[in-house]
Structures are given as structure tokens and as C-alpha cells.
Homo-oligomer: A and B are copies of this chain.
């Protein structure tokens, strides 16, 4: 019997973290792939990754609009409520044998609750990581609602087991986003024309020269600070005179603050070499990072993909504070001074060796393989089995 595997994608980064697994599931003969796209993954303001999913050749089974506009903590909570209502209808109709949820964004718990209450086995990608912030609570809560766990790192898998999950249900596969990094790891140059393919704003930069990539997300429980942080980073980068490609943030409480900071900055100073892009194909994104002098911001990309690619990375503030990291990362605080110092120091670093901390480049295939081979018929009813 063909297993129906339903993968729910809620945001642009989630897609990168599951894309190669989607391909491997599609290629499998034992599984049927259902792709549900929801939340910011459908919205133009946040790069509408659904278009990219389709242009990558995948068929979207169902689109679920769930974002209550307002970008406040209250709207986040209510968005989760709406998503539960809508996803429950979708799962009832699609009748998947397995639901796959990814990582820890606030809406992902909606997927977990709908699948749990409908009695559909739930698979969680990227559980067990320790990062701080509300995301961490949500991530561990999803772990406790899940039946199978595909962890990125050995450490994460151990955490999941320590939280009481049965070791036979916990697998270290690495992160599928590293698979994409692996595919471009040997490129000497960009395979695409940035300005032809992507419609950004700001001042185009010369990609044959040194440039920096900036990637900043608002921190969920510091949402008042989003505008201030974006302004600090913009001003500090501006002072260095370096060429910068800046990627726009995801939907989140506070993302409007980031956007406002960018708009203010652009109105003030049109001459600095900063170019702003809203959404980009993940492969192209990684090619740019690979070619950049370093990544700066607070994205996990600086820790995950950059470690695999050997690209130096400046990580600012608390967002990634507890995440396991390789030797490519320099941490600093949210002051112009601390950031400037990190930029000076990183200039002196050499490119790093590939690290396999977050995967060896074959996570997607491993995930599809285990999904295909496992018998998901019987749910574990006991979720707190301590191995002492």
C-alpha cells in the first residue's frame, strides 16, 4: 500500500529545510507526496515561497491562508488558532498516513495539534535543538506531540531521547538544507544573474568584488527591538563601506519594525552599496553566501549552512545563543561597537574546512528512506520513557 506523506510548509526557511526530502519522497515508489503550504509561505510580503515550490516542479496539494494580520504576539497566537481550524479540515480531507512538521515556528504547533488530535502519526524535523526564546518552547512541545524525530545533530537527538522519547523513534539525519549547500559546494562562481532573476531595491553591487551577506530576523520575544536592531546593523554596515546583499526578514511579530528601519535607511541614504532582496531560490541564496566574504546577522544559516560551506559568519545577539556551532562563527552583541569589532576580526579569518556538524549532504534521502521503511501503523501511547 502506498503511504500518503503530508508535509506542511509554513515559511520560506522551512522549505529549504525539507526540499531535498520532498524530492526523495517523490522519487520513492512506496510513498505519495502531499504538500500543504500555509502561513507566510503563501504571502507576497514574505517572499511567497509557494511560487518557488511550484517552479521547482512540486505540486501543491492544498493552500491554507492562516495569517491574521497585525504582527503582534496576539496575532501570532490567533494565527495558530486559525491554522489549527484550517489544517484539521485539510488533514481530514487528504487523509495522510503521516504528517511531517518542520522546526519550531509558532505556526508549526498548529500542524502538530491537528495531526495529534486526528490520530495521524506525526514526524518532526529539526527537534531537540537548544536555542532559547519562545521558539525553543514550541520546538520541545512539538517533540512531545510527535511520533518520529529526524534530528539534525547528534546532540539534538540525544536531547530528544533525554526528554523521554523512545530511542527507536529518533534518527540523526542531518538537515536537508545542508543537502542544498552540498549541491553548490563545488561551484567556483555564481550560476545565475542576480539582477536579471531578482527584483530588489537599493543600489546594485558588483558581485565580482568582495561583498557581505546580511540576514536579520526579528527576535520573537524582543519584538519591540526589531526596528532598532535593523537600524544598528544598517548603519554599522554603511560605515564600513562594504558591499552588502541584505535579505528581507520573514513574517513575525516585529518584522514590520525591520521593514520600517530599511525604508527609513533607504530614504536617508541612497548612495551606500546595499542591495535589498526579498526572496530568492535557496540554491542561488547559498551560492551568494558561498561567494561572500562573510555572513552577518542572526540567522541559523550562519551556523548551519556556513559551517558546511566553510564561510565565516558573524552572529549578533541572543537569537542563536544556545545553538551548537562550528569554528566559523564569531558572536557579538547588539551594539555598533561590538559589531564593528567582529567585522574587523572576521576580515582576518581564513576560509574554514567543511564541517559535518549539521549534516553530510544526504539528509533528504535518509529521511525519505526511513519514512518509506517504517511502519507507522501503531502510535506509541506512552511518551515519557526514561532511559536512565
A contact set with B: CB distance below 8 Å: 42-45, 65-70, 72-78, 80-86, 88-89, 92-93, 106, 109-110, 112-114, 116-119, 130, 132-134, 136-138, 140-145, 159, 162-164, 199, 201, 221, 256, 267, 318, 322, 379, 381-384, 386
Contact = CB atoms under 8 A, between A and B. Distances in A.
B65 A78 contact: yes
B73 A81 contact: no
Contacts of A132: 381-382
Contact of A159 (B78, B379, B384): B384
Nearest to A120: B73
A73 B43 contact: no
A386 B117 contact: no
Given A119-B221, A130-B382, A141-B141, A82 B80 contact: no
B221 A381 contact: yes
A45 to B, nearest CB: 8
Given A73-B119, A143-B144, A199-B267, 10 more contacts: A65-B72, A74-B92, A74-B117, A77-B84, A86-B89, A89-B89, A119-B134, A130-B382, A140-B384, A144-B144
Contacts of A75: 65
Looking at A69, A199, A322, the one whose CB has the most chain B CB atoms below 10 A away is A69
Nearest to A266: B201
Nearest to A109: B113
A89 B85 CA distance: 11
Contacts of A69: 43, 45, 65, 67-69
Contacts of A82: 68, 81-82, 85
A167 to B, nearest CB: 14
Q: How many copies does the complex hold?
A: 4
Contacts of A73: 117-119
In the A-B complex, the 7 residue pairs with the smallest Cβ-Cβ separation, listed nearest first, are A81-B84, A77-B117, A140-B144, A81-B85, A65-B70, A141-B141, A132-B381
A139 to B, nearest CB: 8
Nearest to A164: B163
Contact of A201 (B66, B142, B163, B267): B267
A133 B382 CA distance: 7
A145 B136 contact: no
Nearest to A64: B89
Nearest to A87: B77
B92 A116 contact: no
21 contacts: A44-B256, A65-B70, A66-B68, A67-B70, A68-B69, A73-B117, A74-B92, A76-B117, A77-B84, A77-B113, A77-B117, A81-B88, A85-B86, A136-B382, A140-B383, A141-B141, A159-B164, A159-B384, A159-B386, A162-B162, A162-B164
Contacts of A256: 44
Contacts of A70: 42-43, 65, 67
A104 B133 CA distance: 24
A68 B164 CA distance: 33
Nearest to A162: B386
Contacts of A141: 112, 141-142, 144-145
A175 B28 CA distance: 51
B116 A384 contact: no
A347 to B, nearest CB: 32
Nearest to A384: B130
Nearest to A140: B144
A140 B143 CA distance: 9
A11 to B, nearest CB: 13
A337 to B, nearest CB: 25
